[in-house]
Amino acid sequence: MKALLRDRMQTAEWRRFGRVLGLLRASRGSVFVVVALGLVSSLFEGISLYLFLPILAHLPGQSGAEGTLPALLGWVDDWFPPDWVFTGLLTMAVLGIVLKNAVNYLNVAVFAFVNCRAGHLLRSKLNGQILMASSSHINQTQTGEIANAMISETWRSVEVLGDLFRILVNACALVVLLGVLAIVSWQATLLAMGVGGLFMLVSRVMTDATNRASAEAVASNTDFIGRFWETMEGLPAIRQYDQAAAEGARFDALSRRVEKVYLRMQLIQNVIGPSFEVLVAIFVAVLLSLMFHFGIGGPSVAVFLLILFRAARSLRGVMVGVNKMRQLSYAVEEVGRVGEACADSALPSGDRPFSGLAQGIRLRDVSYRYPGRSELSLDGIDIEIPAGGSVAFVGHSGSGKTTVARLLGREFDPTQGHVEVDGMDLREIDLGTWRRRVAIVPQVTHIFDGTVAENIAYGAQDASEAQIRQVAHQAQCDTFVQALPKGFDTRIGAKGVLLSGGQRQRIAFARALLTRPDVLILDEATNELDTRTETAIMENLRRSQAGKTLVIIAHRLSTVTWCDSIVVLSEGRLVETGAPTELMGRAGGAFAGLIRNQH
């Protein structure tokens, strides 16, 4: 069992590592540039440090150096006149450090481009997946899950590239510096590599503990952001029912959970540095004891220790980078998981473009059940909506009227049956061309943070000012827009906070009309309008209906008596259909009963 669990964890870790590498897919060539520049930078550093061997040998009181130093001094003496050897070596060492840092800065600049580019592509990809997700998936997903993935985990995901960069650069430096150490003393270098392996083992144990905390961090962030998001959206209700203290307590509890998780992660992560320094100190003590025992000293010891400390710093950088990369890989996995779930839920688009409604729409034996629900919202609906006609769907709350509107807009597909457009299954039609020719005015209008004109023209960005004013007039927006400080150029705030509910609905009407749709669906779109305004808008729709097919989901039955036909739904079933005058004449009919109840 333990072996199976370990294998699963390793498989999951490799999957997360694959996602990390996927962030670099658009900049694969840059990785080789980073490695090449890292090697060049490390070579300059290694040469500069190695030059301290002859530099120390030329200090007063030093007559030479053991090992490889005589051969080194041979080429030094060939390069420089006797009086310039010390100055020349110092100049070369300093120049090497300058070149090392220049190349290192170039490397950092290359990585900064890769890092920022990867972050942009990751956020754009996730945003595209979210925009294409089905409505049912968005409604079923926890509020904070998608928000956390976009707001928090994408930024943490990009941080992992910084750790990958740290690993690559330090690994390059480690390879070069180990080579220089081997030139100075290969025996001591083997001992140093053994201690390095021991440190990697200790680091692995600590990393496993960090991984467990990282998975919990993603979950706690999701809950925290989700609750905060709900609090912001529910502020009016919170204030109305005096629940600020209770919401504050819930927020504090979730915040404390986040605090504890991140504290544990930092404590585990910060053990690496001190433990590494302890191991290095023990190693240096053992090394000096051995050198003292074998009579090794002078410049070689000093240079070896100098290079060793630089190599140790690079090894520490690799280990810290690996630990943080494994920790942050959970953020990369969360972003990928959320994005893929959204993408998998997206409705497949057909390949037949929609250019206009010629015959009509038919719901053929359509049934629909919302995910997670046992009962059908629609049950065996079979109805025709002729092109250019007007059909009203009426019934009590929960009868399935809005489900019809959402099926026609293809927010989702029927559980059973077909929605046919001119005899063709709606699923075969290109989704983009269909939605561009169908406009829905919903019960709840979303207003963007912009001007009145920008909100009206949201679905028709190239509309002229005259066209905007024309549809605003048809939607009865004139009176309240003229009263605004800057008219159509007045900013109305996020969600239209500066407008009343009825004013927001009128903007939604104007927005829909501006797209000049073939099919216009009104889903109880007048529930916040006064009777006079509602009547005026409906009259304008009647006058401008030419070429449009109207589908009206109505609450006030008096406003739809002019429609060509009326469909009465009850508990998801079709109970009555016919012309308004015909239905009103049926004394015991369903529609006549609805009218009596309203009066």
* pLDDT tens-digit profile, the chain (599 residues): 444 444 444 566 667 667 777 777 767 777 788 888 888 888 888 878 777 766 766 665 555 444 444 454 455 556 666 677 677 777 888 888 898 889 989 988 888 888 888 888 888 999 899 888 888 888 888 777 888 888 888 888 888 888 888 888 888 888 888 888 787 777 777 777 777 777 777 666 666 666 677 777 777 877 888 788 778 777 777 776 678 888 888 888 888 888 888 888 778 777 767 777 777 777 778 777 776 766 656 666 777 777 777 888 888 888 888 878 877 888 888 888 899 999 998 889 999 999 889 999 999 999 999 888 889 999 999 999 999 999 999 998 889 999 999 999 999 999 999 999 999 999 999 998 999 999 999 888 888 888 999 999 988 888 899 999 999 998 888 888 988 889 999 988 777 778 888 889 899 999 999 989 999 999 888 878 888 888 888 888 887 777 789 999 987 787 888 899 999 999 999 999 999 999 888 878 888 888 887 76
What are the residues whose beta carbons fall under 8 Å from the beta carbon of 71, sequence distance 6 or more? none
pLDDT value of residue 428: 95
Pairing of strands 390-394, 565-570: parallel
Domain ranges of the chain: 15-345, 360-598
Sign of CA dihedral 212, 214, 218, 224: positive
**Predicted local distance difference test score (pLDDT) of residue 550:** 92
Rounded to an integer, what distance in angstroms lies between the CA atom of residue 365 and that of residue 7? 50
Residues 6+ apart with CB under 8 A from 155: 119
Q: What phi and psi, each to the nearest 5 degrees, are found at residue 529?
A: -100, 150
Give the pLDDT confidence score for residue 377 in this predicted structure.
92
Considering the segment(s) 15-345 as one domain, its CATH architecture is Up-down Bundle (1.20)
* Whole-structure pTM value: 0.77
The number of beta carbons lying within 10 Å of the beta carbon of residue 467 is 16
CA–CA dist 458, 581 (Å, integer): 38
First to last CA, the chain: 70
Measured at the CA of 284, the angle between CA 279 and CA 285, to 5 degrees, comes to: 100
Q: Is there a contact between 115 and 161 (Cβ–Cβ < 8 Å)?
A: yes
From CA 10, how far away is CA 29, in angstroms rounded? 28
Gap between the Cα atoms of 89 and 80, Å rounded:
9
CB contact set of 308 (below 8 Å; sequence gap of 6+):
181, 192, 284, 287
Name the pairing type of β-strands 424-425 and 549-553: unpaired
Torsion region of 360: left, alpha or beta (phi above 0 gives left; psi -120 to 50 gives alpha):
left
d(CA 435, CA 553): 19
d(CA 167, CA 38): 10
Question: Which 3 state secondary structure label does DSSP give 394?
Answer: strand
- Say what the alpha-carbon torsion angle 355, 358, 360, 364 is, to the nearest 10 degrees: -70
Task: Name residue, tokens 């019960």.
Answer: 443
**Torsion from C-alpha of 19, 21, 23, 25, nearest 10 degrees:** -120
pLDDT of residue 574: 94
Q: Which helix (H) or strand (E) holds 438?
A: strand 438-441
Return the closest-CA partner of residue 305 out of 280, 273, 274.
280
Give residue 68's pLDDT: 43
360-598: which CATH topology?
Answer: Rossmann fold (3.40.50)
185 phi and psi angles, rounded to 5 deg: -160, 100
Question: For residue 581, which phi and psi values (nearest 5 degrees)?
Answer: -65, -35
3-state DSSP assignment of residue 315: helix
Which residue type occupies 312?
A
